[in-house]
Structure 1
Amino acid sequence: MFTSLLLVALAAAPRPFTVDDLLALERAGDPAISPDGALVAYTVARAAPGGEKLVSAVWVVPARGPAAAARRLTFGDETVAAPAFSPDGRRIAFLSNRRGSARQVFVLDLAGGEAAQATDLPGGVSELLWSADGKALLVTSDVDPACGADAACNRRATEAASKAPHAATRLLFRHWNEWRDRVRSHLLVVPLDGGAVRDLTPGDHDVPPSDRGGRRDLALSPDGQLVYFVKVSDPVEAISTNGDVYAVPVAGGEARRITTGEGWDGVPRPSPDGKRIAWLSMARAGYEADRLRVMVADADGKNARDLTATVDVSAQELWWARGGKVLRFTALVGPRHQVFEVDAAGGSVRPISRLSVNLNALAVARDGELAAATVDTLTAPPEIALVAPAPRNDRALAATTLTALGARALEGIALGSVRPLEATGKDGATIHGLVVLPPGHRDGERHPAVVLVHGGPQGAWIDGWSFRWNPLLYAARGWTVVLPNPRGSTGYGQAYEDAVRNDWGGLPYDDVMRLTDAAVAAGLADGARMCAAGASYGGYMVNWINGQTDRFRCLVTHAGDFDTHAAYYDTEELWFPEWEMGGPAYENAEAYDRWSPRRFVSRWKTPTLVTHGELDFRVTVTQGLSTFTALQRRGIPSKLLVFPDEGHWISKPRNAKVFHEEVLGWIERFLAAGPAQAAAAP
């Protein structure tokens, strides 16, 4: 009897969260809402057997219905994305690679039947919209500018290019992890009756610009006659953030420029009556992380006004509501996104949500009152939710979860807990972060600690789930996880964000150390047993830390700059270092060298794991190789891990498993033993 009770108790005891748990989670995303707000479509992705890729399916659920009412619509061994309801709500278009590596559009009738392939474009499809009458699709596709919408010409050009070396005569000739030396993304009209495909944006430019707003940078006018898009207006894209909104007739013709700001203008949103247009705008040229203001103007762009001049928040999603009387937008406030509202005629900006979850990827119904979104927290994976007026208060929005993928998968697993973290910077300002504590933590317990430095630097640790650097994996090992948001981080005002410029290893480094000290002083972290890790700018900061302090037992640097001067010539988006360091490297070499971790290699002492993707064009693999060479030449315990088939992120599930286990194993080695024992271990 006693043995049986013991077995039942052990079976009921929650177990630690593991790498396999993380990788096995189904991933909800790409929400879409039907025009009448009755249905929500979304995708669910999971790791394919062998872990080479993610496979996914389209699902649909009633917007006011229970999760049990969700219905799966596709069943192939494929990756799907971007479901979109037709204007009458009877069909769903989506992207799929079921017929090859290039994604095409398929259309599915909700009444039943098989999905029909709607496009066969050599360059595949990246984004899609329905035409207003439902008789055509507006899609973006990679084309040879000399070919435009001519499929046969594009196939010949692709075949010829496959036998030739990459050849470039301009910047930006590669981006993230792909070469962009020959093709451009153009906006095409694809009639569903099989008629000729038309190119609405001919010429040598990308629409929308690569890796900016994507589908958010495309919109139809209410009458369906115009399509709004964004393109970079300056001739050298690698040094410009000057995107502008344009409008072109869906029937074809000359594109008309709507905005003329010096910085980025995007996310065009015409008013319901078509007489006005709203968009998001950055004021400063060359700065990719300036505050996004909500602008509104006449339909032709004249008489533009900033509706958010009085608030220090940066808008992200944007839509019209209340019949065109107000504009709503989301913005990051501290660790979470919230929703705001402002009268289209001007006036005060009002918060209309107090959400306890993070809000992303809004898709808004036709009337602007309902939206589908993903919601998550640091301890809850993304779910699909309906965002609607709160019960008994239609002036406030609330989120109702429609799925329970994460809740089911994590049942019986012990998860860490999250607390806010604050400290005082050396300039007297309050600085921010979060702490994730191990499951079962009791006040007064000090745990070994891992400090995770986020990328960007204009990014942040927010109260949101991560499939890459998930703090719960570290907390499950019994470690306190310190998540600093030093100067440069988003969500705390534009001055806080701007303060990293020309000071990469200065104030932000000091902030990271002070927030780490705050976790130790609060009794949450053992200051004698700590490691630090980070990726991208976080990887840079880890390399910088190695030359400034030996307080950490070990370090992990992923895709981090070793030599900021050389990195200027290695990377692709040159506007970024030119803004951060105050100009090109050949004109301002002193600034680049000042903040280069390379200068302090003679001080390096801390054992370091170096990881990198060989296809990374943002921070090239040479930076990781240089870091490892320096460590080895200094005789410091170190290890190099290079993924030949990954870019800036480690995305494939099988690679992610190796990455997580190597990182966790490296940290475990140094936190579990005494420093001397760990350093001597093979």
Structure 2
Amino acid sequence: MTSETVLSDSARAGGAGQAGQPAAASRPATPFRNLEHYIALPRLGTLALCADGTRLVTAVSTLNRKGTEYTTALWELDPAGRNPARRITRSAKGEAGAAFLRSGDLLLTSARPDPDNGGDGEDEPVAALWKIPAAGGEGRVVLSRPGGVTAVQAAREADTVVVTAPVLAGSADEADDAARRKARKERKVAAILHSGYPVRFWDQDLGPSQKRYFVLEPAGFGEAAADAAGADEAAPAGPGLPGTTDAEPPLALRNLTADAGPALLETKSALSPDGTTLLTGFRKPLARGDFRSVLAAVDTATGSRRILLDSEDAEYQPGPVSPDGSTAVVVRELISGPDRIPDVTLGLVSLADGAYTPLAAGWGRWPSPAGWLPDGSAVVVTAAEDGRSPVFLVEAATGAVRRVTNDDAAYTDVVVSPDGRYAYALRSSYLFPPEPVRIDLGTGRTLPLPSPVARPEPGGRLEEVEAAAEDGTRVRAWLALPEGASAERPAPLLLWVHGGPLGSWNAWSWRWCPWVLAARGYAVQLPDPALSTGYGKEFVRRGWGKWGQEPYTDLMAVTDEAVKRPDIDASRTAAMGGSFGGYMANWIAGHTDRFRAIVPHASLWALDQFGPTTDVSTYWEKEMTAEMAEANSPHRHVEQIRTPMLDIHGDKDSRVPVGAGLRLWYELLSRSCLPAGEQGRTVHRFLYFPDENHWILTPQHARVWYSVVENFLARHVLDQETELPAELGL
């Protein structure tokens, strides 16, 4: 069965008639028909709200003149929705990490040259910490260090600032760290000596730098705090952050986590409103290279650390701290096993004694906390639900859950106004990329804010498809249809499988944008099979440890339903996917020849090879037994592959190392039903990116990716030829 998706009035309007949002009658032609236009679309991300709620800042990434990277600038939005957006930073290096001080001054990070140092830049400039006065004027560097600054947090009700920055593991202090970095750079040493695990993570090599948290304060104040910490009386809370006058004292960093080692890898943190406590996940080493994340509370005055939550069967990450500073929301994830899903729930933890209380334990969604109401009565969260990601309110006292937004959209980067009446967020769906909105937390009504980025016309329509799986479970999908698709002009179908596998097609994706292929005439189906989030725990449990079973049969069921439509051409279909979606593409190839072409990207192939070589093998070992991995491994079915395949992989991929792509390529040529012919030529193709990772991040390579995919699909699905990018040299 099918049903057309209808957005709420506010979502459908999308700010029509306001700045940056053209009315329907004047909408331009879709940019998705031209890859150059698509790649050049500006991209909105992140929100920061000042303490009194009068200033809201977002970041906009735009393509540089060479078309080789995106540069981010900060823009100010009007929280009331009356005035147009205003750009507040501009540089070739870009800016990020916006955080408001209590005074209204704006902190940010940027690698732009410091004008107070004559504008001289380093050979490889790193991000420094800058400040823009609340009253306006030029920004100034408040702190620069050779290792750079990666993030900044500012307390809402105090002058405490916590900086995240990398430190070489053996450094005694900041001066020592600078000397070690200089020596490595001058001697061109890139080697890393490891004594623990992991050694890589997603798209980065780990070490020799490690993540640390620092307090920003006037130079010399840290020694006074350390002396006070050893005295009977409490340590001082810290002075106000200096202004922007030439007479301000120099600032320095005081290391709060000097002894952390690798424990802060991929952990989150939350600063209390009064600035006295920093909550952070903290990795506890276990046997055989494994670890789990416990919850630690760090005193920002003394650096002393207490473990609040530590469970053998779960990991913890902090959410926001309550307005009165007594309680924090935490995210608890059950440690998975072959027969146990990694269930994600919320809880409340007392900062005084670590007492833990489950919050909305029976909800069945996997929520992400965003902030508290000012009176501490409820927590604002987002969670995947039925192909959307709405905003919810969870009552702190009872755990009762109320859905706030009711449109067909996903909300991210949610911040709460100081009066608790509104929340501000970025909203997207598969009809439009992220755009800023104001949410009335009482009524759920959304007001699109004047945006620095215009909403692009998708060039088609979005509907939903539902099917019954083999066991009767409802399986649903989004379906992006090209303009003109009808019974008279049925469109070829592309099945796109999401990654994760714990995820959902519920929000706009720049990397997997269906409208690029819809503009070429394809209908793109985005299904949520077993293992997808937003449908309850049992839906995840159906596919746990059985990747080649229910997830596969769910995909076939919803595809069967889609091709029944008169506006879909059932004789011209293809399948694609990345990461776990790439795994499913490989599995599909070995189990059916119903598709004319299959495209796996960053795909898992031989699971016995993937397990020991992925970046976090300890997690994989807990997820599947060797027998389960063998039963679900696509490589065992290579002899049944009769479909042309486009294998895509990046050499810098640590999650699915490139060996998987190389082995898939060799075995396609040597063992599939479509072997290489004369002179090694084959209908299969291998698109290899030597300097990309699990994702294709650079704009020039994204253009190549889409172009090659379009060429491969056109050849095998449409029996047509398209031009390949000249830069490939073919």
Is TM more than 0.5 here?
Answer: yes
Correspondence for 2:698: 652
Correspondence for 1:571: 614
Conserved? CA contact 1:290–1:494, under 8 Å: no
Correspondence for 1:297: 349
Counterparts of 1:475-490 in structure 2 under 5 Å?
475-490=518-533
Correspondence for 2:327: 276
Give a deviation string over 1:606-626, Cα, whole Å, max 9, x none.
Answer: 111111111111111111111
Q: Distance in 1 between matches of 2:31 and 2:76?
A: 33
Alignment partner for residue 139 of structure 2, among 115, 118, 129? 115
Amino acid at match of 1:147: S
Correspondence for 1:679: none
Give a deviation string over 1:381-439, Cα, whole Å, max 9, x none.
Answer: 211222333xxxxx33333222345535x3xx562211111111111211121111111
Q: Secondary structure at the match of 1:529?
A: strand
- Call closer, same or farther: CA 1:222–1:536 in 2, change over 3 Å: same
Correspondence for 1:203: 259
Alignment partner for residue 606 of structure 1, among 636, 640, 643? 643
2:44 paired with 1:28: yes
Correspondence for 1:72: 87
Q: Distance in 2 between matches of 1:206 and 1:35?
A: 33
Conserved? CA contact 1:263–1:286, under 8 Å: no
Conserved? CA contact 2:464–2:477, under 8 Å: yes
2:177 paired with 1:160: no
Instruction: Report the Cα offset of residue 133 of structure 1.
Output: 7.0
Alignment partner for residue 451 of structure 1, among 495, 499, 506? 495
Identical columns (%): 29
Conserved? CA contact 1:103–1:125, under 8 Å: yes
Correspondence for 1:585: none
Instruction: Report the Cα offset of residue 152 of structure 1.
Output: 3.5
Correspondence for 1:620: 657
Alignment RMSD: 2.6
Alignment partner for residue 514 of structure 1, among 553, 557, 565? 557
Q: Distance in 1 between matches of 2:92 and 2:640?
A: 52
Correspondence for 2:270: 219
Q: Secondary structure at the match of 2:383?
A: strand
Amino acid at match of 2:515: L
Unmatched runs of 5 consecutive residues or more in structure 1: 1-8, 390-394, 583-587, 676-681
2:577 paired with 1:528: no
Counterparts of 1:161-560 in structure 2 under 5 Å?
162-163=188-189, 165-191=191-217, 193-206=249-262, 208-210=264-266, 212=267, 217-235=268-286, 239-240=290-291, 242-261=292-311, 262-284=313-335, 290-389=342-441, 395-407=442-454, 410=456, 413=457, 415-442=459-486, 445-462=489-506, 464-560=507-603
Q: Distance in 2 between matches of 1:251 and 1:26?
A: 41
Q: Distance in 2 between matches of 1:13 and 1:276?
A: 51
Conserved? CA contact 2:59–2:73, under 8 Å: yes
Q: Distance in 1 between matches of 2:557 and 2:540?
A: 17
Instruction: Report the Cα offset of residue 124 of structure 1.
Output: 1.9
Alignment partner for residue 110 of structure 2, among 73, 88, 96? 96
Q: Distance in 2 between matches of 1:238 and 1:329?
A: 34
Q: Distance in 2 between matches of 1:137 and 1:302?
A: 24
Q: Distance in 2 between matches of 1:57 and 1:85?
A: 16
- Call closer, same or farther: CA 1:36–1:135 in 2, change over 3 Å: closer
Conserved? CA contact 1:267–1:318, under 8 Å: no
Conserved? CA contact 1:500–1:508, under 8 Å: yes
- Call closer, same or farther: CA 1:196–1:105 in 2, change over 3 Å: closer
Q: Distance in 2 between matches of 1:22 and 1:515?
A: 29
Conserved? CA contact 2:210–2:265, under 8 Å: no
- Call closer, same or farther: CA 1:359–1:505 in 2, change over 3 Å: same
Q: Distance in 2 between matches of 1:555 and 1:568?
A: 24
Conserved? CA contact 2:203–2:694, under 8 Å: yes
Give a deviation string over 1:439-495, Cα, whole Å, max 9, x none.
Answer: 133367532111111111111111x22110100111111111111211011111122
Amino acid at match of 1:29: G
Q: Distance in 1 between matches of 2:353 and 2:548?
A: 41
Q: Distance in 2 between matches of 1:345 and 1:135?
A: 30
Q: Distance in 1 between matches of 2:367 and 2:715?
A: 43
Q: Distance in 2 between matches of 1:340 and 1:488?
A: 23
Q: Distance in 1 between matches of 2:290 and 2:566?
A: 46
Conserved? CA contact 1:363–1:371, under 8 Å: yes
* Range that drifts further, 327-336 or 435-444: 435-444
- Call closer, same or farther: CA 1:568–1:138 in 2, change over 3 Å: same
Instruction: Report the Cα offset of residue 256 of structure 1.
Output: 0.7
Q: Distance in 2 between matches of 1:132 and 1:514?
A: 50
Instruction: Report the Cα offset of residue 538 of structure 1.
Output: 0.8
Instruction: Report the Cα offset of residue 138 of structure 1.
Output: 0.9
The TM-score, its normalising length taken from structure 1, stands at 0.89
Amino acid at match of 1:165: A
Instruction: Report the Cα offset of residue 581 of structure 1.
Output: 1.2
Q: Distance in 1 between matches of 2:299 and 2:444?
A: 35
Q: Distance in 2 between matches of 1:153 and 1:272?
A: 37
Conserved? CA contact 1:532–1:555, under 8 Å: yes
Instruction: Report the Cα offset of residue 62 of structure 1.
Output: 1.7
Instruction: Report the Cα offset of residue 69 of structure 1.
Output: 2.5
Q: Distance in 1 between matches of 2:619 and 2:356?
A: 28
Q: Distance in 1 between matches of 2:177 and 2:590?
A: 54
Conserved? CA contact 1:201–1:207, under 8 Å: no
Q: Distance in 2 between matches of 1:239 and 1:422?
A: 41
Instruction: Report the Cα offset of residue 664 of structure 1.
Output: 1.1
Q: Distance in 1 between matches of 2:718 and 2:137?
A: 57
Instruction: Report the Cα offset of residue 178 of structure 1.
Output: 1.7
Instruction: Report the Cα offset of residue 299 of structure 1.
Output: 2.3
- Call closer, same or farther: CA 1:574–1:154 in 2, change over 3 Å: farther
Number of aligned residue pairs: 645
Alignment partner for residue 17 of structure 1, among 33, 39, 52? 33
Q: Distance in 1 between matches of 2:190 and 2:493?
A: 51
Q: Distance in 2 between matches of 1:599 and 1:281?
A: 37
- Call closer, same or farther: CA 1:604–1:14 in 2, change over 3 Å: closer
Q: Distance in 1 between matches of 2:618 and 2:415?
A: 31
Q: Distance in 2 between matches of 1:622 and 1:136?
A: 47
Q: Secondary structure at the match of 2:384?
A: strand
Give a deviation string over 1:183-206, Cα, whole Å, max 9, x none.
Answer: 210101122542442110122434
Q: Distance in 2 between matches of 1:384 and 1:527?
A: 39
- Call closer, same or farther: CA 1:428–1:239 in 2, change over 3 Å: farther
Q: Distance in 2 between matches of 1:479 and 1:596?
A: 30
Q: Distance in 1 between matches of 2:375 and 2:480?
A: 43
Conserved? CA contact 2:543–2:550, under 8 Å: yes
- Call closer, same or farther: CA 1:222–1:50 in 2, change over 3 Å: closer
